[in-house]
Amino acid sequence: MKRWINSLQDNYGTPSIELVSGKGSYVKDAQGKLYLDFLAGIATNVLGHGHPAIVKAVTKQVSTLGHVSNFYAHPNVLQLAEKLQKFTGDKSARVFFCNSGAEANEAALKLSRRTGRTSVVATKESFHGRTMGALSLTGQPSKRNPFKPLLRGISHVTFGDSRAMKRKINKRTAMVIVEPIMGEAGVIVPPANYLQDVRRYCDENGALLVFDCVQTGMGRTGDWFGYEYSGVKPDVITLAKGLGGGLPLGAMIALGPASHLFKAGDHGSTFGGNPIATAAALAVISAIEKEKILIHVNEVSSYLFAELALVPGVTEVRGAGLLIGLTLDQGCAKELVKKSQELGLLINAPSESIIRIAPALNISLRDAKKFVTIFTAALAQVRHG
């Protein structure tokens, strides 16, 4: 990777492989080696690589209308906003489009300032992005500390601890931001009534409740956003990753009174909601609906949860849909990622004892079985040398 070292900044470190092509749930490196992709661009390529619907939609759009800026409307942005509004089940919902999850969370943070309040409550170990506002929300000291001072007035409490959340929210709180399931922290599912409790505390104090659905959204958990299991309706939803099916696209959706907080000129994004990215998003949604992928997600998920729980060395399987975290009985997760790559499998280790998998939502049961076989072999080799 000499060319990488000589031309790119070192913020990612040096990648171990160079990928040159992909089809479905497989990618190929520069040496021609195939890998089963069980990370999907970190929960982004929800239809895998080279899905015909996305290829067709993007090709048609780029030859028709490429970029218009937000001085003008175009059909795709209107249709996509209406689709997302429908998925919320609330006609009051209004959408702001941007390019990433960090930008969506920055927009939510900025929106909360329109309440006249400035205090924010987030959770420890959360991940909301790396731009300065989103980083201020992120509850991971290793990512935050080198860039202090960050925004003031942001407190972090333990995820899943309702009492801690209740103590921190007050009449000065502008917003509370939580992930329905924590992704970057290792796929952590909160207690059953946690989101309901947070909703109640926000209502009692007039604070906005923001659900960061960047990683859980767009069918990843078997639902459109990932918070539906709670029965709670937030004031703000942030989306990205799977929304564009591999193209950069994010969204901040505000509901109810929050949908009217932004006024003309308050916020913007040059590329947000551009014709090409929104064409891809519409193709993603159409494919999910036509191919009944949400049902498929739950079927494959049931298989993986059952099979992975039986793998020697796995002590816990958690998550929802195809966002799954595996806790190992040894601190060998990083080594397991390397061994899996050697055996033709791409996975991720958020920490030394946790593996995260997030394959394409249309992954076949056959490839899910192949994953279990390779993963089991890789873990056995790592545990026993």
Residue reference for tokens 């998920």: 301
Q: CA dist 268 to 70, 76, 153, 262, Å? A: 8, 18, 24, 10
Cα gap 207→198, rounded to integer Å:
10
CB atoms within 10 A of CB 359: 28
Cα gap 257→236, rounded to integer Å:
10
Q: Which two tokens stand for residue 382?
A: 């790592």
Q: What is the pLDDT of residues 119-151, one digit of tens each?
A: 999 999 999 999 999 999 999 999 999 999 999
Query: In sequence order, which ranges of 291-327 are alpha helices (DSSP H)?
Result: 293-308
Cα gap 173→201, rounded to integer Å:
11
Q: Quick one: what percent of the chain has pLDDT higher than 90?
A: 99
Q: Are 122 and 108 in contact (CB under 8 A)?
A: no
Question: What count of residues does the chain have?
Answer: 385
Q: What's the confidence (pLDDT) of residue 51?
A: 98
For residue 385, is pLDDT > 80? no
Q: What's the confidence (pLDDT) of residue 378?
A: 98
CB atoms within 10 A of CB 83: 17
Omega cis (within 30) before 149:
yes
Write the Ramachandran bin of 55: left for phi over 0, alpha for psi from -120 to 50, otherwise beta. alpha
Cα gap 319→305, rounded to integer Å:
9
Cα gap 166→198, rounded to integer Å:
8
Q: How confident is the model at residue 1 (pLDDT cuts 50, 70, 90)?
A: confident
Which residue ranges are tagged as binding site for pyridoxal 5'-phosphate?
A: 101-102, 127, 270
Mean pLDDT of all residues belonging to the chain:
97
Residue 26 forms beta bridges with which residues?
23, 36
Residue reference for tokens 């009051």: 92
For residue 64, is pLDDT > 80? yes
Q: What's the confidence (pLDDT) of residue 384?
A: 86
Q: CA dist 142 to 9, 101, 124, 210, 212, Å? A: 19, 20, 12, 24, 21
Q: Domains of the chain (ranges plus CATH)?
A: 2-51+291-384 (3.90.1150.10), 54-290 (3.40.640.10)
Cα gap 242→133, rounded to integer Å:
22
Helical (H) or strand (E) element with 9? none
User: Which of these, 111, 112, 147, lies nearest to 132 by C-alpha position?
Assistant: 147
Helical (H) or strand (E) element with 183? none
pTM more than 0.95: yes
Q: CB burial class (10 A; 0-12, 13-18, 19+) of residue 151?
A: middle
Q: CA dist 293 to 112, 286, 307, Å? A: 34, 10, 21
Which residue ranges are tagged as binding site?
A: 101-102, 127, 130, 269-270
Q: What is the pLDDT of residues 101-121, one digit of tens each?
A: 999 999 999 999 999 999 999
Q: What's the confidence (pLDDT) of residue 265?
A: 96
Q: Which two tokens stand for residue 122?
A: 């987030």
Q: At what angle do helices 293-308 and 275-290 cross, to 10 degrees?
A: 70
Q: In what order do the strands lie in the sheet with 94-98?
A: 94-98, 250-254, 236-239, 208-212, 173-178, 119-123, 154-157
Which residue ranges are tagged as binding site for N(2)-acetyl-L-ornithine?
A: 130, 269
The β-bridge relationship of strands 250-254 and 236-239 is antiparallel
Tell me how far the alpha carbon of residue 349 is from its chain's centroid.
16
Tell me how far the alpha carbon of residue 360 is from its chain's centroid.
13
Q: What is the pLDDT of residues 311-359, one digit of tens each?
A: 999 999 999 999 999 999 999 999 999 999 999 999 999 999 999 999 9
